[in-house]
Structure 1
């Protein structure tokens, strides 16, 4: 390695370790923080190959770098899911998919060790393992970008929204380019390693500076004390004119029943600038994101109908679709988060009380 490569590889490693140490005390407070620490750890393990000058194949440090580098895309995908869906519990199948970025290459390596054979002797199997693993990594990274693009507008805090989209977007772009250049295209250029570590150093410096010097909670800020549909209080009489228009649009015009309603559409409908509308919904109504805001009115509407005798035989799916939901699964999830029971259980308890 040249002196420039050595400097930037060590600098990037130091940034990764520093981020882990600074975030570690808060790991138990937020699932996304724990996963981000794991992501930084995978990055540090990947850089370790050049930092420690690992030459011995199958040594302990070689295995650390091997496992960290292969696990990195899967962990990054899980981070993107948590960052843009704080309430989301990562499902077993998502853990399984993320683990494949490590398990596929690891299995092939262990098989080669067990049978003392080179996998390249079996072209079909070798191609399936190598190119299958690369394809999976690229798919997960692209999906992380799609998650960011899909959900970033839902966050009502502008600074946090841009921070999250920026971090996920930049990290995803960096990982995508590294995989394409090094693995897919197999480009061999004497300055590639230097460029890789310079880019990583700049990216990590920016992230750490923003996290710990400017806005510590920007990326991982979770909803605190957000009241549910059942407990949220009505706004004070001195509410702003914009807030009164928002409430009237929801409670009188029932705009929440419009399927696919977004904050941009609501902004145009009410004639309120989107930036100001975000301030109203977040600052005056205490909603963390736009989906929480919509769910408040939609769930309240459905819950009312479930208690009404005239709707006792109306399918729950019909009620959910009438109130703006696109699928029964998303409605069931939102309803149970609010009331702690499924819509069917809620309807049954309401009928028993009525009797």
Structure 2
């Protein structure tokens, strides 16, 4: 059984490194490539230092592998949020939490006699990632990611949650052969299925592709895009459906009397948006820009304008506005009043230069 564990770990390590090599050459974002490489390296180090058969490694090599393996929680989190959260600003809280968990793991591995927070922190982190992978589906417009979310969450976050939860409840002993085999088998199966999904020729899995079309949100020409449905969506948007607070894809689909998956595909493949929030917020921000530069509304507060265009509070409004312009609504209004940019650009998100 010990040699079976070594064979399984060898297969998993080979697959992880091959996957990292192939994706490093793929036309996806740098962050996407780095996240896969980070997970491959950290998981490889983890598989080496946790074998059922203790390896006679040089102390310096053992120490370095332990350090690299400690970043596994951060690498897992980085990969999940890179794939499933398009907005970079939404990823930082997750990355900071995962880094804290990795530091706790390193402390636990280096000083095992010291009380460690690693296991409870890991259980909370991986449980939250599992929920994130499933709940964020409601806002996702990329069809291949929507279909993959349940399996992806079950494969990666659930495996990590099972391993850490098993140790936290002492169901799995730290140095047991059962734990070692579960780590080896689970990692190999997850890596194999993940490789099959990632290597399929569909760059839409990844945010921030190198294509300029992603940045400018030009419509994507696709045989599956329904012109009549796209026209219906645009008509509903022109009628102001985006003003409804808490509008969801399901609510929009019901108003259009079409299945939800067709609305997702039309907005994603026909209009070029990757998530529903950015699609709705684009219309709201355009209306907000018009209000902020309207001389008749100079006495209206930013909060009043946020409510008027459909935001529930000023916080989400400010975040969405900064995502488009890199500046707050107040700064935008001040720049408009001082004539910092041409009138033609005052209502055009992503075209403003306030410097």
Fold shared per TM-score above 0.5: yes
TM-score (norm 2): 0.81
1:156-196 per-position Cα deviation (integer Å, ceiling 9, x unaligned): 22123223553244100000111122343252465443343
2:352 matched residue in structure 1 = none
1:122 is aligned to: none
Contact 1:307–1:347 (Cα < 8 Å) also in 2: yes
> Which residue number corresponds to residue 63 of structure 2?
63
Q: For residues 295 and 57 of structure 2, what CA distance do their matches in structure 1 show?
A: 72
Paired position in structure 2 for 1:196: 183
Residues 1-355 of structure 1: pairs in structure 2 closer than 5 A: 1-26=1-26, 29-49=29-49, 53-56=53-56, 59-89=59-89, 95-107=95-107, 119=113, 126=114, 129-130=115-116, 132-188=117-173, 190-212=177-199, 214-215=200-201, 217=203, 219-222=205-208, 224=211, 225-226=213-214, 240-252=227-239, 254-353=240-339
Maintained 8 Å contact 1:163/1:218: no
**Distance of 1:206 and 1:92 partners within structure 2:** 27
CA contact 1:163–1:219 (8 Å) conserved in 2: no
- SS in structure 1 of the partner of residue 36 of structure 2: helix
Q: By how many angstroms is 1:325 displaced? A: 1.9
Q: Contact 2:35 / 2:78 at 8 angstroms: preserved in 1?
A: yes
Query: Secondary structure, in 3 states, of the residue corresponding to 2:25?
Result: helix
User: d(CA) in 2 for partners of 1:290 and 1:311?
Assistant: 29
Give the direction of change, closer, same or farther, for the CA distance of 1:285–1:312 in structure 2 (3 Å limit).
Answer: same
Q: Do the aligned partners of 2:134 and 2:149 also contact (CA within 8 Å) in 1?
A: no
CA contact (8 A) 1:15 1:204 kept: yes
Following the alignment from structure 2 to structure 1, what is the Cα–Cα distance between the partners of residues 317 and 124? 28
- Report the CA distance between 1:57 and its aligned residue: 8.2
In the TM superposition, what whole-angstrom CA distance separates every residue of 1:197-245 from its partner, at most 9, and x where no partner exists?
2222121111112222x3353532535424669x99xxxxxx8332222
Provide closer, same or farther for how the CA distance between residues 287 and 218 of structure 1 changes in structure 2, counting only shifts above 3 A: closer
Q: Which residue of 1 aligns with 2:222?
A: none
- Aligned counterpart, 2:353: none
After the TM superposition, which of the residue ranges 19-28 and 134-143 deviates more from structure 2?
Answer: 19-28
Give the 3-state SS of the residue equivalent to 1:341 in structure 2.
coil
Q: CA RMSD in A?
A: 3.0
Do the aligned partners of residues 326 and 82 (structure 1) sit closer, same or farther apart at CA in structure 2, a change above 3 Å counting?
A: farther
Q: 1:201 to 1:92 in 2, by over 3 A?
A: closer
Please report how far the alpha carbon of residue 308 of structure 1 lies from its aligned counterpart in structure 2 after TM superposition: 1.5
| Contact 1:27/1:33, CA 8 A, preserved across alignment | no
SS at match of 1:187: coil
Provide closer, same or farther for how the CA distance between residues 159 and 299 of structure 1 changes in structure 2, counting only shifts above 3 A: same
SS at match of 2:88: coil
Question: Gaps spanning 5+ residues in structure 1: where?
Answer: 113-117, 120-125, 233-238
